[in-house]
Structure 1
Amino acid sequence: MLDKKYLTLKESVKLLLDYIEFRCLSFEIVSIESAYNRITYEDILAPENLPGFKRSTVDGFAVRSQDTFGAKETMPVYLTVKGHIPMGVAPDFSLNPGEAASIGTGGMLPEGADAVVMIEHVNVVSSDLIEILKPIGPGENVIFEDEDIKEGELVIPKGHKLKPQDIGALAGLGISQIKVVKKPVIAIILTGDEIIPYTEKVTPGKIRDINSFTLAGLIDLAGGIPLKMGIVKDDYKELKAIVNKAYELADIILITGGTSAGIKDMTAQIINELGEPGIIFHGVSIKPGKPIIAGVCNNKPVFGLPGHPVAVYICFELFVKPVINKMLGLTDKTYKPKVKAKLTKSISSQAGRRDFIRVYLEEKEGELLATPLLSKSGLIMTLVKANGILCIPEDLLGFEKDEIVEVELL
């Protein structure tokens, strides 16, 4: 039977986020070259019109559109070619009735012109005379000076994660520096007498550090700065000292190991002693990751993550990442890519518990198949081999073989 004291995933995440202040981190000013994937701290408004001048979208002839009305191949309109407009140069003449100017794609229209006739619809009679074979309307084949964006309009809202195209737009507007939310520093503390640095040789009973590297990568991808605090033995005084140090240096603290019941379970006690209100919840009805601890100590989030590598990954995505997003003030809607696939074997779950199953996706004969990688959460290689995660909701007892399921891509 499921232990009723554990919160559901939805309940626990909501409870936790209620304690987190939105956009509680300060800002810094950075150049746009280093602003990729950063979160905007304030609205960015256009300081000028873009592109700033009327430009052609085709190769052809700039004209006064009314001069082309009635033109057709059997009865063309004749216009005098007043000149040529080189790329990157503002024309030093204007068009009068009956005049045209040759222009390339991206060229600036002269005064008086309001359209561009494509070269395909023009017959060049001589260097200073053309025939227009098709009428054209005002604004046709033209980008106007404020068509991309007008001065004073919102370019990028605050709380937006900057994409490459956003940086390109800022450069096009001449914006070189912007305010972004400071990246949160996230401390990683490993606990356990059995953990050794990855550089050491494994002896019976010892395992190399996996979790600090997994977490450091996840933190970097989530927009934070990982701060590795090292490996701490299962000693209360030593662990408390390193947690206190992390509390001074970091915005979020992650402690791996020490969350399961047992005589060495000190994480919960230390979190409660760190500040108010302390632990928000201990244990959630999920698998893997059931024994997770989440606390807030004087407005600083502190997590006790399970020691198993797969559980660490799952708990970070489910609990730590939403906290980071709220602290950053991220307002973008985030959508994880998902696909439909046919399950290659049946999998079961416990009622009232949400299970996260690693799966391997492969296409065979035009059909996408999902093969469950069933193993204990202490084995990292299933996560390495997996390219998707299948969630079994609390109200289901599993999925049957050949059932079409929704898989979240890793």
Structure 2
Amino acid sequence: MEFFQVQSVKRMRELIEEYVPSQRMTEDVLLSCAQGRTLAKDVKSREDVPAFSRSTVDGYALKAADTYGAGEAMPAFLNDAGAVEMGKAASIKVRPGEAVYVPTGAMIPEGADAVVMIEDAEMFDDLLTVMKPAAKNENIIWRGEDCEKDGILFKAGRVIRPQEAGTLASLGITEINVYRQPVIGYLSSGDEIVPYDTPSLQEGEIRDVNGVTIPAMIEAMGGKSEISEIAKDERNDYLAKASALFERCDMVILSGGSSVGTKDFTTEVMTSLGDQNPGMLVHGLSVKPGKPTIFAVSSNKPVLGLPGHPGSAMVIFQMFGKSIIARLLGQTQASSFTTTATVSQNIPSSPGRTDFIRVTLDTETAVPKAVPVLGKSGLVKTLVKSDGLLEIEEQKEGVLQGETVTVHYFI
């Protein structure tokens, strides 16, 4: 057997965009259960956010023009016009030459256009001494500044994080419409693979690492994982377990049995699932690590065959599995968050393939520095030590020290 449909990383990404359907099934969930879910509809603001103009500091609301030129040697003097209480409407109007005390979060009284911090002023009887000028709009959040009433607060495709949930809570929104969580089936294969909770190994046996790491990455993405029993290197057993997942799940991930060997049934199994329209799209990827990667779409369901090696499997899932699941989640945001960094040293590469180098990120410099994690690529501990993957594109012969590169963060 040979890899008969080897594709580039660029083409793999194009195929995912072209053939993996974007999620369309939706459901309503309580805001308290919405963490990590993806909005299926735009959310409009029911009211101005914030609902009233408020101070961001403890200080004095005033007209900024009254403080221009103020300093410790020649302060500005303003008349005390009262105070605004927390949780109550500001009934006082600020006139030229006046100031009103406002605590943090209190309503800004009419006529004020700035707040001077309390530490930059001092009250003597009914006279406020201001030792520092205030700029117009300083220390004020104006009504509707976050979002105006009926304006789009969040667009469909946005993932709900704590900050989005908090914003929705501030509007009294208790329920939102989100895309349904896709169910991703996972199957490890191999006569040598045994469950990870096997207390003691027989000679030649290997605990199922991928059966823990890949489902964990699926869950971290926001999907639901369904894990099958390990398939033996026997066609009927492999096909039966893969078919059962294919019938129940929105996507199937197979690990092991995708390289060249007499007992590698992954290709045969994948071409037996569903209607094979369009069928096998990738059989081999011009990438290191992870060349024995297989990708197909059948009956509108993606099937991804990962290398059996835990390090390679995690890298391929990180770079491509995430992108597939992001589409199944209905996400419009990039599923693989990246940053730019400079390389700490020269790194050679072979043109004609894309290399993913494990790196740590030194953030103590103005621009993060990508430092390669030394060690054999087959060791899982090199992934544990890494912050992300540095991508060296296939047309390059490597990167030079100080060169700007793209680093893909791990989940």
- TM-score w.r.t. length of structure 1: 0.82
Counterpart of 1:395 in structure 2: which amino acid? Q
Query: Is the contact made by 1:233 and 1:239 (CA closer than 8 Å) also made in structure 2?
Result: yes
Q: Using the alignment, how far apart are the partners of 1:198 and 1:259 within structure 2?
A: 21
Counterpart of 1:46 in structure 2: which amino acid? S
Counterpart of 1:210 in structure 2: which amino acid? V
Query: Does 1:169 pair with 2:167?
Result: yes
Counterpart of 2:310 in structure 1: which amino acid? P
Residue ranges of structure 1 left out of the alignment (5+ in a row): none
The CA deviation string for residues 93-131 of structure 1, in whole angstroms up to 9 with x for no partner, is 667899765432322245x544466357877564xx446
Counterpart of 2:300 in structure 1: which amino acid? N
The CA deviation string for residues 195-249 of structure 1, in whole angstroms up to 9 with x for no partner, is 1112221111211111111101211222211211121111222222211211122
Q: What secondary structure is seen at the aligned counterpart in 2 of 1:281?
A: strand
Residue 150 of structure 1 corresponds to which residue in structure 2? 148
Residue 223 of structure 2 corresponds to which residue in structure 1? 224
Q: Using the alignment, how far apart are the partners of 2:78 and 2:320 within structure 1?
A: 71
Counterpart of 2:320 in structure 1: which amino acid? F
Counterpart of 2:345 in structure 1: which amino acid? L
Residue 279 of structure 1 corresponds to which residue in structure 2? 280
Residue 50 of structure 1 corresponds to which residue in structure 2? 49
Q: Using the alignment, how far apart are the partners of 2:115 and 2:402 within structure 1?
A: 58
Q: What is the CA-CA distance between 1:22 and the residue it aligns to?
A: 2.2
Residue 233 of structure 1 corresponds to which residue in structure 2? 232
Q: What secondary structure is seen at the aligned counterpart in 1 of 2:229?
A: strand
Q: What secondary structure is seen at the aligned counterpart in 2 of 1:310?
A: helix
Q: What is the CA-CA distance between 1:381 and the residue it aligns to?
A: 3.3
Counterpart of 1:198 in structure 2: which amino acid? Y
Counterpart of 1:226 in structure 2: which amino acid? S
Residue 178 of structure 1 corresponds to which residue in structure 2? 176
Query: Is the contact made by 2:67 and 2:76 (CA closer than 8 Å) also made in structure 1?
Result: no
Query: Is the contact made by 1:342 and 1:405 (CA closer than 8 Å) also made in structure 2?
Result: no
Query: Is the contact made by 2:75 and 2:129 (CA closer than 8 Å) also made in structure 1?
Result: no
Q: What secondary structure is seen at the aligned counterpart in 1 of 2:263?
A: coil
Q: Using the alignment, how far apart are the partners of 1:54 and 1:223 within structure 2?
A: 37
Counterpart of 2:304 in structure 1: which amino acid? F
Residue 241 of structure 2 corresponds to which residue in structure 1? 242
Over 3 Å counting, the alpha-carbon distance change for 1:176 and 1:363 in structure 2 is closer
Residue 23 of structure 1 corresponds to which residue in structure 2? 23
Match among 157, 177, 197 for residue 195 of structure 2: 197
Query: Does 1:299 pair with 2:335?
Result: no
The CA deviation string for residues 309-366 of structure 1, in whole angstroms up to 9 with x for no partner, is 122112212221111112222222453134323237x6453x3122233356779999
Q: What secondary structure is seen at the aligned counterpart in 2 of 1:14?
A: helix
Query: Does 1:316 pair with 2:286?
Result: no
Query: Does 1:208 pair with 2:225?
Result: no
Which runs of structure 2 are paired with 1:91-110 in the superposition (5 Å)? Answer: 91=90, 101-110=100-109
Q: What secondary structure is seen at the aligned counterpart in 2 of 1:230?
A: coil
Aligned-residue identity in percent: 33
Q: What secondary structure is seen at the aligned counterpart in 1 of 2:178?
A: strand
Q: Using the alignment, how far apart are the partners of 2:75 and 2:32 within structure 1?
A: 55
Which runs of structure 2 are paired with 1:59-78 in the superposition (5 Å)? Answer: 59-62=58-61, 65=63
Query: Is the contact made by 2:55 and 2:115 (CA closer than 8 Å) also made in structure 1?
Result: no
Over 3 Å counting, the alpha-carbon distance change for 1:130 and 1:368 in structure 2 is closer
The CA deviation string for residues 123-142 of structure 1, in whole angstroms up to 9 with x for no partner, is 7564xx44676998986654
Q: What secondary structure is seen at the aligned counterpart in 2 of 1:18?
A: helix
Residue 340 of structure 1 corresponds to which residue in structure 2? 342
Q: What is the CA-CA distance between 1:78 and the residue it aligns to?
A: 6.8
Q: Using the alignment, how far apart are the partners of 1:254 and 1:292 within structure 2?
A: 11
Q: Using the alignment, how far apart are the partners of 2:80 and 2:384 within structure 1?
A: 70
Q: Using the alignment, how far apart are the partners of 1:363 and 1:50 within structure 2?
A: 35
Q: What is the CA-CA distance between 1:39 and the residue it aligns to?
A: 1.6
Query: Is the contact made by 1:79 and 1:132 (CA closer than 8 Å) also made in structure 2?
Result: no
Q: Using the alignment, how far apart are the partners of 1:66 and 1:393 within structure 2?
A: 54
Over 3 Å counting, the alpha-carbon distance change for 1:300 and 1:132 in structure 2 is same
Q: Using the alignment, how far apart are the partners of 1:343 and 1:89 within structure 2?
A: 60
Residue 35 of structure 1 corresponds to which residue in structure 2? 34
Q: Using the alignment, how far apart are the partners of 1:355 and 1:376 within structure 2?
A: 12
Q: What is the CA-CA distance between 1:67 and the residue it aligns to?
A: 11
Q: CA RMSD in A?
A: 3.8
Which runs of structure 2 are paired with 1:389-404 in the superposition (5 Å)? Answer: 389-398=389-398, 404=403
The CA deviation string for residues 37-91 of structure 1, in whole angstroms up to 9 with x for no partner, is 322111111100122123234444556x59969998989777574x532211224
Q: What is the CA-CA distance between 1:306 and the residue it aligns to?
A: 1.5
Aligned residues: 399
Residue ranges of structure 2 left out of the alignment (5+ in a row): none
Q: Using the alignment, how far apart are the partners of 2:130 and 2:365 within structure 1?
A: 53
